[in-house]
């Protein structure tokens, strides 16, 4: 990288990184490893970050695709994204000790799905097909839920049999894009009702607001997060929607010098499943290349904490 094109300044978005649900899920696995020793099985990635998964693997966690891959009678932690009821049933049949690390804000959406379905409503779930959170939510009421991914999907929906309709959303979507889809649903189906409180979680909303504010001050935004992290991808999307260049990176090794041509100020943020030590590595990468000015771009203060799952707290009580 030539001296002419070298960035001079870093701005770090705040808030960024771990949300309360991710922190709770990762700590759940760590605590079970301490209390019971390895191996502790984890169904799917506990959170969508490859570095977090690898670090837990080094501590003795074994990640599996299905509860069927866990030896009978063993302990399995269920990921932060939530699971369908059939997973709990199957785990019980296999005599697994299931520790449910589902984010409480995802559990809220599951409960809303059960409530709306119990009232006989058809539910339009706004989300991304195949995402683990969507799979889990649809599993709560598979006969009542229709997936909607885009505004264009709304026009293609078949006419429902009744006007008893509701919508729910995945917790990690683009706030702006979701607002458009909800507006389209309300325009087509005037009787549709929504949840008492928005389903998009506080962390997703706050990180998108923070990166929008950050983007006004920088030439380039680097979003630290893995490709399968929905909320990280959305941070890239909302930045690009503002006309600012943005790239998703797992870590500093993926930064390309060509991205930095003509860039004076680089904004850095991280998705809700990316730990702060990855941010520190990226900052160090720039420091090694002569960047001296590093500042925080502070928008919102977060103070959210979730208690560990009951199974972990019970195990802690037994250990003491």
pLDDT tens by residue, 220-254 = 999 999 999 999 999 999 999 999 999 999 999 99
Q: pLDDT at position 1, please?
A: 41
- In terms of Cα–Cα distance, which of 92, 143, 96 is closest to 116? 143
Residue ranges of the chain with per-residue pLDDT less than 70: 1-5, 319-320
**Domains of the chain with bracketed CATH:** 9-18+202-298 (3.40.1010.20), 20-103 (3.40.50.11270), 105-188 (3.40.1010.20)
- In terms of Cα–Cα distance, which of 132, 129, 113, 131 is closest to 121? 113
Q: pLDDT at position 5, please?
A: 63
pTM: 0.94
Cα 270 to chain centroid, rounded: 11
The verdict on whether omega for the bond into residue 39 sits within 30 degrees of 0, i.e. cis, is yes
| Per-residue pLDDT tens digits for 107-118 | 999 999 999 999
The dihedral sign for the CA sequence 141, 142, 146, 150? positive
10 Å Cβ neighbour count for 37?
9
Residues annotated as catalytic are 133
The gap between the terminal CA atoms of the chain, to the nearest Å, is 55
Phi-psi region of 89 (alpha: psi -120 to 50; beta: other; left: phi over 0): alpha
Tokens of 126: 């706004």
């Amino acid at each position: 990288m030539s001296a002419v094109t070298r960035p001079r300044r870093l701005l770090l978005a705040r808030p960024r990184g771990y949300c309360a649900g991710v922190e709770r899920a990762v700590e759940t696995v760590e605590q079970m490893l301490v209390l019971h020793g390895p191996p502790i099985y984890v169904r799917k990635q506990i959170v969508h970050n490859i570095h977090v998964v690898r670090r837990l693997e080094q501590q003795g966690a074994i990640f599996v695709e299905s509860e069927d891959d866990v030896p009978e009678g063993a302990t399995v932690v269920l990921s932060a994204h939530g699971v369908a009821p059939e997973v709990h049933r199957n785990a019980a049949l296999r005599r697994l000790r299931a520790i449910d690390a589902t984010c409480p804000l995802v559990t809220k959406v599951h409960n809303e799905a059960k409530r709306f379905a119990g009232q006989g409503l058809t539910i339009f779930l706004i989300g991304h097909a195949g995402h683990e959170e969507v799979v889990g939510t649809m599993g709560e009421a598979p006969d009542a839920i229709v997936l909607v991914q885009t505004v264009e999907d709304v026009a293609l929906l078949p006419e429902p049999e009744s006007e008893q309709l509701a919508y729910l959303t995945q917790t990690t979507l683009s706030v702006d894009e979701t607002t458009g889809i909800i507006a389209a649903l309300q325009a087509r189906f005037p009787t549709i009702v929504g949840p008492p409180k928005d389903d998009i979680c506080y962390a997703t909303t706050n990180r998108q607001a923070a990166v929008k504010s950050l983007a006004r001050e920088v030439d380039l935004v680097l979003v630290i997060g893995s490709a399968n992290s929905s909320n990280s991808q959305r941070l890239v999307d909302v930045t690009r929607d503002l006309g600012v260049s943005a790239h998703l990176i797992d870590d500093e090794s993926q930064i390309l010098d060509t991205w930095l041509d003509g860039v004076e100020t680089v904004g850095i943020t991280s998705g809700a499943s990316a730990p702060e030590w990855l941010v520190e590595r990226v900052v160090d990468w720039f420091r090694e290349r002569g960047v001296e000015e590093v500042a925080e771009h502070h928008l919102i203060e977060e103070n959210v904490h979730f208690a560990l799952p009951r199974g972990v707290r019970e195990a802690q009580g037994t250990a003491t």
